[in-house]
Amino acid sequence: MLYSLTIIFNFVFLVVAVWLGVYLVTRSPHSLVAWLTGLTLWSIAGLFLNFLLALTPPPCLENSPD
């Protein structure tokens, strides 16, 4: 139960952070504050993506070298 909630929480806030960053930058592309806020939100989205990949790692390929 906690594992599923953590996955859902991370995925939802990953999407929200990316969307809000894009929204802010496209609404005022010449504002330095909007760009800095967008970059901060995209960095936070990277953190959520890192957590998602740590919780659900991609499968190993059989033919890949070790």
Q: From first to last of the 66 residues of the chain, give the pLDDT tens digit.
A: 999 999 999 999 999 999 999 999 999 999 999 999 999 999 999 999 999 999 998 888 787 776
15 belongs to a structural domain = yes
60 belongs to a structural domain = no
Tally the domains of the chain.
Answer: 1
> What local confidence, expressed as pLDDT, does residue 31 receive?
95
Domain that residue 36 falls in: 2-55
> What local confidence, expressed as pLDDT, does residue 58 receive?
82
> What local confidence, expressed as pLDDT, does residue 66 receive?
62
* Assessment of whether the complete model's pTM goes beyond 0.75: yes
Residues 6+ apart with CB under 8 A from 3: 55
Interhelix angle 2-27/32-55, nearest 10 degrees: 160
63 belongs to a structural domain = no
9 belongs to a structural domain = yes
